[in-house]
């Protein structure tokens, strides 16, 4: 990876199971901290984050060796476990369903340059030698 340059950015959205309004108050604040820590530990750059009471928006940049599905899996699984540990009432609330997060999520690649810019960059590479 020493000779590679990349910019992989994702917009990720996911919801609590049944889209209940549970991500507020202390839970929201703790969740932000948990997600920041996961990002630091796994090498995800969280560029922007917003937690609504019933869903989460993240703008993340990662290495090209990390699949978006792996990013989502780590964020959802670790955050659910840590929130359940810190908020026993939340765990009790979701006891019957067995999980905090819904199974699905939305992920979209976020581009930073146009096709024309990429084409021009490639075409100019030979001129630099």
Kindly report, residue by residue over 69-116, the tens digit of the pLDDT: 999 999 999 999 999 999 999 999 999 988 999 999 999 888 877 767
Active site residues: 121
Kindly report, residue by residue over 31-65, the tens digit of the pLDDT: 999 999 999 999 999 999 999 999 999 999 999 99
Please report the pLDDT score of residue 12 as a whole number.
94
Domain 8-128 CATH class label: alpha beta
Please report the pLDDT score of residue 126 as a whole number.
63
Structural domain spans, the chain: 8-128
Neighbours of 100 (CB within 10 A): 22
Percent of the chain with pLDDT strictly greater than 90: 71
Please report the pLDDT score of residue 54 as a whole number.
95
Reduce the DSSP state of residue 10 to 3 states and report it.
strand
């Amino acid at each position: 990876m020493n000779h590679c340059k990349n910019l992989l950015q994702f917009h990720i959205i996911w919801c609590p199971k049944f889209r209940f309004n549970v991500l507020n108050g202390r839970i929201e604040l703790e969740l932000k901290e948990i997600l920041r820590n996961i990002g630091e530990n796994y090498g995800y750059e969280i560029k922007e984050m917003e937690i609504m009471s019933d869903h989460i928006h993240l703008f993340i940049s990662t290495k090209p060796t990390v699949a978006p599905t792996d990013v989502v899996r780590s964020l959802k699984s670790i955050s659910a476990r840590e929130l359940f540990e810190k908020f026993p009432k939340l765990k009790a609330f979701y006891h019957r369903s067995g999980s905090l997060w819904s199974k699905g999520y939305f992920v979209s690649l976020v581009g930073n340059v146009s096709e024309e810019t990429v084409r021009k960059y490639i075409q100019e590479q030979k001129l630099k030698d």
